[in-house]
Amino acid sequence: MSSVGSVEQLEELLALGHESRSFEVKGPGSPGGLKDKAYLGQIAKAVMAMGNLRDGGLVCLGIDEPRMREMRPGLSAEQVAQWSDYDQVHTAMASLVDPPPGFQPLLFRLSSGCDVVVLEVDEFDDVPHLCRADVGDVLQAGAMYVRPRGMPRSVRVPDAREMRDVLDIATDKAVREFLRRAYAAGLPSPGAGPAINADSERFDAERAEAWAAVVSSVLEQVNSSGHTDVAIRPVPFDAERVAPRRLVAFLEQQTVRLRGWPLPYIDSRQPIQRLGTFVGQDIAPTVVPHLESWRMCASGQFLHRRALATDMRDSPLLEATAEGTTGAVALWDIVLYMVELAELAARFAAGLHCDHIDIDIALAGVAGRELIAGDHQDHVRPGLIVHADRLNATRRVDSQTLLANPRRVGVTLAQDLLAQFGLDLPDTALLDLQQRVFGS
């Protein structure tokens, strides 16, 4: 589920100055609020479309799109009371959306002094959302509304490709539910598969070529920071697994949006680097403190480098506590990112129809850094300092396990890295951490 955990995260999305596929803003509308049928219809359309998007999305009420960076005009006290009342909003949505959407209304006061309500909309449970009733020229009964690729907007499903995306979500849900039940019942997995190093040289060569093709100033900035360096590899190696013309579309379809900010971030306003058998982008922190580079290869190998949160954000909570350290690594940053990566790997496994996925992870540029909690809710004992500049972890995971329980796989990946700092926490503590942020 796309989520926004703090006013700082919300303001980062607003600071972009434009909507995204999983983030839509709506002005405050008329004082009538829920009683204004036309405005309610606009909100219901956005909620339906987000509910039909993989991982759901966010609808921010109270901000005019042209004034996103100003974070204005905000909601009145009466509008805040209406839109933050779950029962009222759920009743209104249920009258227009079938099946009724899952959502959570969140109230935020922005640094501009304005109040907004964010509807955190869940991906549909089993059946996609359809419109239940006509509302003027805003909604049509029986229509399905989606957030198509390209220009972010909520519209009736425009073509077969967008319809296929929604149906694929429903199919994936059914497959995952079957595998979860089979996994719980003790159905044997496919096993370890071919040796983990059988194709590693070919993947490694492709990886080196992809990163060396274009070394931008952004990539150099990533490389000079503390960063994660990740490869997701469908095995066995097949140089022609994904046609070059389909690489961007494939990656867009697998994108993970558990925290609002997608993994990977594909910037539709920036040209894609098309480099023969692979594509990529380097995302600079022009507005939001986020720095990443990604490459998608025709073999199905996905490469991602991302600066650590402790290198990008200025907060006392993200500072090392021990003397003589070179910096910090936040526990939550590692755990949440590993869970997102495992979910992305699961989608690759389903989308590429492979039996196993290799996940190769490194923390780079971390010599002398201390592991810290990074927030007020978790605790890490002080003095956990690593002296190696690069920490590595590699796992081969069968697709059944990935699809049945990607979050547990993510926690296992996090444990592989955190243990190298000397941290000894039970899996349940890390599962609780990710559930607190991502939900169930």
Whether residues 235 and 344 share a domain: the answer is yes
| DSSP, residue by residue, 43-57 | HHHHHHHHHTSTT-E
Q: What is the pLDDT of residue 198?
A: 67
- For the stretch 279-293, pLDDT in tens is 999 999 877 788 999
- 1 found inside a domain: no
Total tally of structural domains belonging to the chain? 2
- For the stretch 73-101, pLDDT in tens is 999 999 999 999 999 999 999 999 999 99
- 190 found inside a domain: no
- 183 found inside a domain: no
The SS3 call for residue 332 is helix
Contact assessment for residue 117 and residue 107, using Cβ atoms and an 8 Å cutoff: yes
- 189 found inside a domain: no
Distance CA 308, CA 319 (A): 12
- Angle of helix 331-352 relative to helix 247-254, nearest 10 degrees? 120
> Can you tell me the mean pLDDT for 289-318?
94
- 185 found inside a domain: no
The SS3 call for residue 295 is strand
Whether residues 211 and 147 share a domain: the answer is no
- For the stretch 399-429, pLDDT in tens is 999 999 999 999 999 999 999 999 999 999 9
Cα distances from 77 to residues 74, 105, 213, in angstroms, run: 10, 15, 54
Domain that holds residue 105: 7-159
Distance CA 302, CA 306 (A): 13
- 339 found inside a domain: yes
Whether residues 354 and 255 share a domain: the answer is yes
Whether residues 337 and 400 share a domain: the answer is yes
Whether residues 240 and 333 share a domain: the answer is yes
Q: Which of 85-99, 312-326, 371-385 has the highest mean pLDDT?
A: 85-99
Contact assessment for residue 403 and residue 179, using Cβ atoms and an 8 Å cutoff: yes
Any idea what the CATH number is for the domain that residue 148 is in? 3.30.950.30
pLDDT tier for residue 104 given thresholds of 50, 70 and 90: very high
Whether residues 262 and 139 share a domain: the answer is no
Query: What pTM did the predictor assign?
Result: 0.86
H/E stretch holding 203: helix 200-213
Whether residues 315 and 211 share a domain: the answer is yes
Q: Which two tokens stand for residue 32?
A: 């009538």
Q: Which amino acid is at 64?
A: D
- 168 found inside a domain: no
